[in-house]
Structure 1
Amino acid sequence: MKILILGAGRVGASVAENLASEQNDITVVDTDATRLAALSERLDLQTVVGDALKPSVLRRADVDNADLMVACTASDALNLVACRLARTMFSVPLRIARVRSAEYADHPELLGEEGFCVDHLISPERSITQYFRRLIELPEALQVLDFADGRISVVTARAMLGSPLVRHAVGELQELMPDTDVRIVEIFRREKPIPVDARTQIEVDDEVVFVVDSRQARRVVRQFRQAEKSVHRVMIAGGGNIGLRLARKLAADNYSVRLIEYDRTRCELLASELPDNVLVLHGSATDEALLEQEGVADMDTWIAVTADDENNIMSSLLAKRLGARKVITLINRPAYGDLMQGSRIDVALSPAQITLSEILRYVRRGDVVAARRLRRGGPEVLEAVAHGDRRTSSVVGRELSALRLPSGAMIAAVVRDEHIFMADQNPVIEDGDHVIVFVPDRRQIARVEKLFQVSAAFF
C-alpha cells in the first residue's frame, strides 16, 4: 500500500515506523528538514520537506498514486484542509485526519463530502479518555482492549502471589473457571514472551494476555490477583484537554474526582466548566505536601496526564510512594514508556501507540474492522469479518482447526450475532462472523489479511 503521512511529529513518526516495517511504500511530509532526516536515516521511506497545504509539495510526495493519506500534523485546521485538498484535487481514495478538538466529532456534517472530505476522524484525547475509563472499570488490569462492539475483551493482567491460577497449567483453565469463556493467548515472563500451550504453567509476576467474553472479564481478571475494591476516588494530574475530558466523564459516572493543575488561569476555567463533584486544585503534581494534604493515600487511582513526561513520571512515582493504590501515566517518549514497564508505575500509556491502533484498522487489508497493539508493542490482535462461501473464501465453511495460520498466530474467538465461540469449541466459520485473531509478529500480518480476503469470484 502506498501511504502518505503528513507530519513527522511523535504520532507521524510512530505511524511511519510501524507501517514501514510491514513493507508499505511510505512518504512523509513535514516542514522540519531535521526531523525528516532523522526518520529517513533509520527507516526505509521517502521524505519531502515543505508545506503540506501546497499542491506542488503534495505532487512531489506523489500524492496522485497514494492509496491512503494520514494527516497527523500538530494543526487540526491543516489536517482537515489537507484531506479536502487530497480528495478534490488528487482523488486520494482514503483520508484520515487526527483532530484534537472534540467539536468536529460532534458535527459529522463538517467532515463528509460536502465538508472536509475526511473518511475517518481520529481524536487522541477521546481515545485516551475511553482507554482510561476501561482501566478504571477493571482496576486489576494492565490493559483492556475491546472488540466486536464491546462483546469481546482482550485483557492483560499480572499474576500475583496468592492468585488461584499460579502454579496451574493453561490447560486447567476451564476446570478452574467453569462456565467461563476465556482463552490465554500470550504470557510475558521477565518481560519476554514465552511459548504458550496447554502445559504452560502460570508463574508469579507473569503478564498474562487473555481473550474473554466482556461480561465475564471482571470475574476472570480477579483470578490473577487478589480482588481489589471498586474504584471510587480518582486524582488527575494535568488539566489539559485530556484531563478535562476525563474529569468530566468520571464525574458523570459518579466518581469522586480531584484534578491538579499548575496554571491558575486554567484552573479557573476548569472550575467553571466541571461539575461540583470535581475539586480543582491549583498547584504542582510533584508537591509532596499538596498530595498528602489532599489525601493521595486514599486515592483508588492516580492518573498523570500533563504535557511533560518527566512531570508525569515523577508525580506518579511520588503518588505511589504516598499510598495511591494504582497509578496510570501518560508518556509520549517511547524510550521512557519502555523504561517504566515493570516499575512502580502500574500502567504507562503512549498517546502515539493508541492513535496508531486506530489507524491500523484502516491500513489492514481484507475486512479488518479493528486492529490493536498489545502492551509490549509487537503482538497485534485483529478483528476480521469473514465473507463469502467455501468456494470464494479461505475461511468460510471451515472449522478453526483446519485454517492454515502463520506459526504462533491463533484464532481466539468467533462472534456470530449474539453468540460467542471460543477457539476450543472449534466452530465452523460462517459468512458474517467476526473473528478475533492473535498475531505475535507483525511480519505475519499480511498472511493473516490474505486469509480473510475473498476471491474475485465473490464479486
Structure 2
Amino acid sequence: MRIIILGAGRVGESVVDSLVSEQNDITVIDTDARRLRALEERYDLRGLVGSGVDPVVLEEAGARDADMLIACAALDETNLVCCKVAHRLFNVPTRIARVRSQAFRHGSELVDKEGFAVDRVICPEESLTRYIFKLIEYPEALQVREFAGGLACLVSVRAVAGAPLVAHSIAELRECAPDVAMRIVAIYRRFEDEPDRFIACDGATRVEPGDEVFVLAARDDIPRVLKALHRDEHRAPQGRPRRKVQRIMIAGGGRVGLRLAQELAAAPAGFHVKVVEQDAERCTALAGQLPHEVLVLNGDVTDENLLEDESIETVDLFLALTNDDENNIMSSLLAKRLGARRVLALINRRSYAELMHGTQIDIALSPAQAMIGELLAHVRQGDVQAVHSLRRGVAEGLEIVARGDRKTSRIVGRTVRDLKLPAQAHFGLIVRGLPDPLAVVDAEAEAGEAAPPREPQVIIPKADTVIESNDHVVIFVPHKRLIRDVEKQFRVSAAFF
C-alpha cells in the first residue's frame, strides 16, 4: 500500500515501525527536519519537510496515488484539516486521524464526508483507558484483547506453580478443567540469559510455571481461564487473601491520568482512587475537574516517604502514567518493593518496554501498541474486523470474516483440518451468528416472515468443524511475516463478486 503519515512524533514513529516491515510504500510529512532524518536513517521510507495541510506538500508526498492517509500530528486541527484536504482535492480512499477532543468522536457528523471526511478517529488516551480498564477487570491478566464486539477475548497470563492447569500438557486440559472451553494458542517461555522464546503449541506441549500463556475463550469463561492458570487453589499468592482491585494509585495527572481517574470515579465498582502529580498548578486543575472522592496529592512519585505515608502496601494497583519513562519505571519498581500488589508502567520507548517485560514490573505498557491495532485493521487485506498487536509488535491476533462459498473461498465449506494456514498460525476460535452487514435482505425478510436471527455463539473448533460463510474467525499469528499467507487463504475469487 501507498501510505502517507503526517507527524513524526512518538505515535507516528510507532506507526512507521509497524507498517514499514510489511512492504508498504511510506512517506512521512513533518515540519521537523531532524525527526525526519532520524526516521530515514532507521527505516526504508521517504521524509518530506512541510505542513500536512498544504495541498502542494500533500501532492509532492504522492497524495494522488495514495491508498491511505494517517494523520497523527500533535494538534487535532492539523489532523482534521489534513484529512479534509486529502479527501476534497486528492480523493485519498482511507483517511485516519488521531484526535484527542471528545467533540470529534468516531461517528460524529463533524467527521463524516460532509464534515472533516475522517474514516476513522483514533484517540490514544481513550485506547489506553479502555485497555487499562480491562486489566482492572481481570487483575491476573497481562493483556486482555477483545474480538467480535467483546464476545470473545484473547488473554495472556503468567502461569503460576500450583494452578490447576500448570505442569500439565495441553492434551490434558479438558480433564483438568472440564467446564472451561478455551484454546491455548501460544506460550512464551523464559530461558536464562535469553529473551522469552515462542513455543509452538500442540497436544504434547506442557504449561510450565513462569510461562506467558496466550488463551482464546468466550468472555464469560475468562475468569475461569485465569483461575486455572494463575491461581493456586490451596493458597493465595504470597500468602495474601484474594481480593478484587479496589484501591488504585495513579502516578501522573496528565491527559491519560485525568481521563482514567474520571472514568474510575464514575464506575459503579466504587474504586478508591488517588492521583499523585508533581506540578502544583496541575494539581489545582485536577482537583477542579475530578469529583471530591478522588484524592489529588502534590508530590514526587519516586519519593519513598510519600508512598509509605499514603500506605502503598494497601494499594491493589499502582499505575505509573507520567510522560517520563524513567520516572514510570523507577516509581513502579519502588511501589512494588514497598508492597503494592500489582504495578503497571507506561513506557514509550520500545527498548525500555522490552527490558522491563517480565521483571518486577507486572505490566510494561506501550501507549502506541495499545492503539496500533485500530490502524492495522484498515491496512490488512480481506474483511478484517479487528487486529491486536501483541508481544511489542512481533505477533498479532486477527479477527477475519469468512466470505464466499466452497467454490470461491479456500475457507468456507471446509473443515479446520483441511485449511492450509501457515504452520505456526494458530486457528483459535469461531464466533458464529453475528449480523452480516453484507447480507441481501429478501422479500420475506422485508415482510417480517423470515426466521428470527440466532444468538451469536463462541465455538472452540475441533478438527472436523466446518467453516460457514460470515463466521468470524480469530487467528493468532506469532510472526508478522505470516500475515500475508493468512490473508491469502481468506481471499475470495472474482467469481464471488
- TM-score computed with the length of structure 2 as normaliser: 0.90
Q: Deviations over 1:86-111 (max 9, x none)?
A: 00010000000011223321871111
Matching residue of 2:488: 450
Q: Deviations over 1:204-261 (max 9, x none)?
A: 1111111111101011112222264211111101111111111111112221111111
Identify the match of residue 423 of structure 1 among 461, 468, 484: 461
**AA partner of residue 53 (structure 1):** V
Identify the match of residue 471 of structure 2 among 433, 445, 453: 433
Q: Distance in 2 between matches of 1:5 and 1:357?
A: 16
Question: Identity rate of aligned residues, in percent?
Answer: 53
SS in 2 for 1:134: helix
**AA partner of residue 386 (structure 2):** A
Matching residue of 1:388: 404
State whether structure 2 residue 71 is matched by structure 1 residue 71: yes
Matching residue of 1:283: 299
Matching residue of 1:199: 204
Matching residue of 2:152: 152
Shift of 1:375: 2.7
Gaps of 5+ in 2: 191-195, 237-241, 434-455
Aligned-CA RMSD value: 1.3
SS in 2 for 1:183: strand
Identify the match of residue 319 of structure 2 among 303, 317, 331: 303
Shift of 1:281: 1.1
Matching residue of 1:251: 265
Q: Distance in 1 between matches of 2:199 and 2:168?
A: 16
Shift of 1:426: 3.9
Shift of 1:270: 1.5
SS in 2 for 1:14: helix
Shift of 1:423: 2.6
Matching residue of 1:186: 186
Q: Distance in 1 between matches of 2:283 and 2:332?
A: 21
**AA partner of residue 372 (structure 1):** H
Matching residue of 1:369: 385
SS in 2 for 1:413: strand
**AA partner of residue 242 (structure 1):** V
Matching residue of 1:21: 21
What are the equivalent positions in structure 2 for 1:68-147 lying under 5 Å apart? 68-105=68-105, 108-147=108-147
Does structure 1 conserve the Cα–Cα contact (< 8 Å) formed by 2:106 and 2:120?
Answer: no
State whether structure 2 residue 344 is matched by structure 1 residue 328: yes
Does structure 1 conserve the Cα–Cα contact (< 8 Å) formed by 2:417 and 2:463?
Answer: no
Identify the match of residue 332 of structure 2 among 316, 319, 326: 316
Shift of 1:412: 0.4
Q: Distance in 1 between matches of 2:350 and 2:20?
A: 17
Does structure 2 conserve the Cα–Cα contact (< 8 Å) formed by 1:369 and 1:385?
Answer: yes
State whether structure 2 residue 229 is matched by structure 1 residue 213: no
- TM-score computed with the length of structure 1 as normaliser: 0.97
Shift of 1:295: 1.3
Q: Distance in 1 between matches of 2:292 and 2:413?
A: 56
Shift of 1:42: 2.4
SS in 2 for 1:189: strand
State whether structure 2 residue 276 is matched by structure 1 residue 271: no
**AA partner of residue 443 (structure 1):** R
Does structure 2 conserve the Cα–Cα contact (< 8 Å) formed by 1:143 and 1:375?
Answer: no
SS in 2 for 1:430: coil
**AA partner of residue 196 (structure 1):** C
Shift of 1:355: 2.2
Q: Deviations over 1:146-179 (max 9, x none)?
A: 1111011111111112222221101111111112
State whether structure 2 residue 55 is matched by structure 1 residue 50: no
Aligned length: 459
Gaps of 5+ in 1: none
Identify the match of residue 242 of structure 1 among 249, 252, 256: 256
Shift of 1:425: 6.0
Q: Distance in 2 between matches of 1:302 and 1:258?
A: 10
Q: Distance in 1 between matches of 2:329 and 2:426?
A: 36
Q: Distance in 2 between matches of 1:56 and 1:196?
A: 52
Q: Which moved more, 1:321-330 or 1:367-376?
A: 367-376
SS in 1 for 2:319: strand
Q: Distance in 2 between matches of 1:379 and 1:339?
A: 18
Q: Distance in 1 between matches of 2:47 and 2:106?
A: 34
Does structure 1 conserve the Cα–Cα contact (< 8 Å) formed by 2:11 and 2:368?
Answer: yes
State whether structure 2 residue 229 is matched by structure 1 residue 224: yes
Distance 1:293 1:449, change over 3 A: same
Q: Distance in 1 between matches of 2:24 and 2:107?
A: 33
Does structure 2 conserve the Cα–Cα contact (< 8 Å) formed by 1:421 and 1:427?
Answer: no
SS in 1 for 2:44: coil
Does structure 2 conserve the Cα–Cα contact (< 8 Å) formed by 1:267 and 1:280?
Answer: yes
Does structure 2 conserve the Cα–Cα contact (< 8 Å) formed by 1:183 and 1:211?
Answer: yes
Q: Distance in 1 between matches of 2:393 and 2:464?
A: 29
Q: Which runs of 4+ in 1 moved over 4 A?
A: none
Q: Deviations over 1:187-214 (max 9, x none)?
A: 1111111222110111111111111111
Does structure 1 conserve the Cα–Cα contact (< 8 Å) formed by 2:18 and 2:393?
Answer: no
**AA partner of residue 348 (structure 1):** A
Q: Deviations over 1:108-136 (max 9, x none)?
A: 11111121110000000000000000001
Does structure 2 conserve the Cα–Cα contact (< 8 Å) formed by 1:11 and 1:355?
Answer: no
